[in-house]
Amino acid sequence: MKIGVLALQGAVAEHIRLIEKAGGEGIIVKSIQQLDELDGIIIPGGESTTIGKLMRTYDFIDSLRAFSKQKKPIFGTCAGLIVIAKEIEGQPEAHLELMDMKVARNAFGRQRESFETNLVIKGIADDVRAVFIRAPLINEVGQGVEVLATYHDQIVAARQGHLLAASFHPELTDDERMHAYFLEMVREAKQEGSPC
């Protein structure tokens, strides 16, 4: 399975490492032409406004929307979660507007810029190590969105069909289980898309 990591900003190499640890082939994505060869893509952390601007500059907005329409899985982590959200609190427009959720940027505030904790993540495990760095939160989800994890009763991971979102940075640990879960989503999508 060929899993791309959008390489406009963020921890690209770390995602590639865990994709390969989980059994996939990681591909650094710098152009829209590469999307055709992928089975799934990860939009990593960074600064969501900057990533959004770069995606517009390099024509990734329409291309990733088309990628999503093919039901190819997309995984947004930290800023990537903001990029795939339909609505961003306090902003007139979102970026890809794919996942039916309203998100808040830098929700944990600057005074606690980073922390680590273990999370119970539905379908994965009850001890998944999560690194939060000026992390966003999912404030609201639509009916088709499944909440996978919460932290202090606030949503930090969710799934909607072929879309996966996490407030934290799973790539900044040695735990590949979140990436393995995404690879399983990709495997399922490929099976559903293949002819009988």
Q: Please pick, among 78, 95, 176, 179, the residue that the annotation labels catalytic.
A: 78
Could you give the CA distance from residue 183 to residue 15 in angstroms, rounded to a whole number? 12
Q: Which two tokens stand for residue 149?
A: 């994890």
Q: Which of 15, 169, 176, 179 is catalytic?
A: 169
Q: What are phi and psi of 124, to 5 degrees?
A: -120, -70
Catalytic residue among 15, 95, 162, 171: 171
Mark whether 169 is an active-site residue.
Answer: yes
Given phi > 0 = left and psi -120 to 50 = alpha, else beta, which region is 13? Answer: alpha
Local structure of 84: helix, strand or coil: helix
Residue spans of beta strands (DSSP E) within 107-194: 114-121, 125-133, 137-141, 146-151, 154-160, 163-166
Contact 116, 59 (CB under 8 A): no
Please say if 15 is a catalytic residue. no
Rounded Cα–Cα distance for residues 86 and 94 (Å)? 6
Question: Which 8-state DSSP code applies to residue 122?
Answer: T
Cβ(39)–Cβ(186) under 8 Å? yes
Q: Which of the residues are catalytic?
A: 78, 169, 171
